[in-house]
Amino acid sequence: MTERFLTGRTALVTGSTSGIGLAIAATLGAAGARVIVHGLGSTEEISHAEQTVRDAGAASAHFLPGDLADHVAIEHLMQQAGPLDILVNNAGIQHTAPIAEMPPAQWDRILAINLSAVFHSMRWALPNRAARGFGRVINVASVHGLVASVQKAPYVAAKHGVIGLSKVAALEYAAHGDRSSGGITINCICPGFVETALIEPQIQSRAAHHGGDRDAGIRDLLGEKQPSLRMALPDDIAALALWLCRREAHNLNGAAIPVDGGWTAA
């Protein structure tokens, strides 16, 4: 049974109706947290996400909407959420195209959701934590916050920005709290390839060139970037996020932690 060390804590996980975000929400719930679910999806998908988090053992789980491209909507979301102990900024979007062909509207929307929303949510969440001596912000950046890839200019720019922004916040709040309270930390998790529904079409496309062998398709896809030749699972990312919430993590602050199978080691 998971140690319920987050009993009495409240967590907001953006983009938590599926994938990595849902895994993080469920894992925090299993440790006893009250979890606010947020993200896109049909009524059924949202209800399923809430139930998944409850079934994991969350003290409570309920959904709050909020368009992360709109700072007024973010303020409303944060006001509805109330005081938070844990903020996980996981939501993000992607659009690939060469710089010369990138639609300006896509650039603006990706920067708004992937970077500006992180600023606006932290701006609301952190001052309240300073007085209480405990707070965790976990920003799910990306390996693309550490290295670049072609045709991903807004995504790479946003994720590099998230890491820089997180370092500034970590410095500003590092002295609040103490070892006993757990302090306030702001860190980034930087996943490489993670096995989610979003990446499944790429896997199947590569598998088709190997007689339908899915594992061969994964190795083919990852061979270009990820030396381990295996993907992380959403639960792997969630386990790291959970550890960052422990009091023992009070001095791990301002870090960008790669979970990339060696991608950034070269």
Asked if 173 is an active-site residue, the reply is no
Per-residue pLDDT at 266: 83
Per-residue pLDDT at 184 exceeds 50: yes
Catalytic residue among 107, 155, 173, 263: 155
Tokens of 176: 């609040």
Per-residue pLDDT at 110: 98
- Band (pLDDT 50/70/90 cuts) for residue 1 is very low
Per-residue pLDDT at 111: 98
Per-residue pLDDT at 6: 98
Q: How far apart are CA 264 and CA 129, in angstroms?
A: 33
What is the arithmetic mean of pLDDT over 62-79? 98
**Domains along the sequence of the chain with CATH:** 10-192+233-259 (3.40.50.720), 197-231 (no CATH)
Per-residue pLDDT at 197: 83
Counting Cα atoms < 13 Å in the Cβ hemisphere of 218 gives: 14
What is the arithmetic mean of pLDDT over 174-196? 96
Output the average pLDDT for the chain. 96
pLDDT, one tens digit per residue, over 112-169 is 999 999 999 999 999 988 888 999 999 999 999 999 999 999 999 999 999 999 999 9
Q: How far apart are CA 44 and CA 36, in angstroms?
A: 17
Q: Where is pLDDT greater, at 57 or 129?
A: 57
pLDDT, one tens digit per residue, over 195-232 is 988 789 889 999 999 999 999 999 999 998 999 999 99
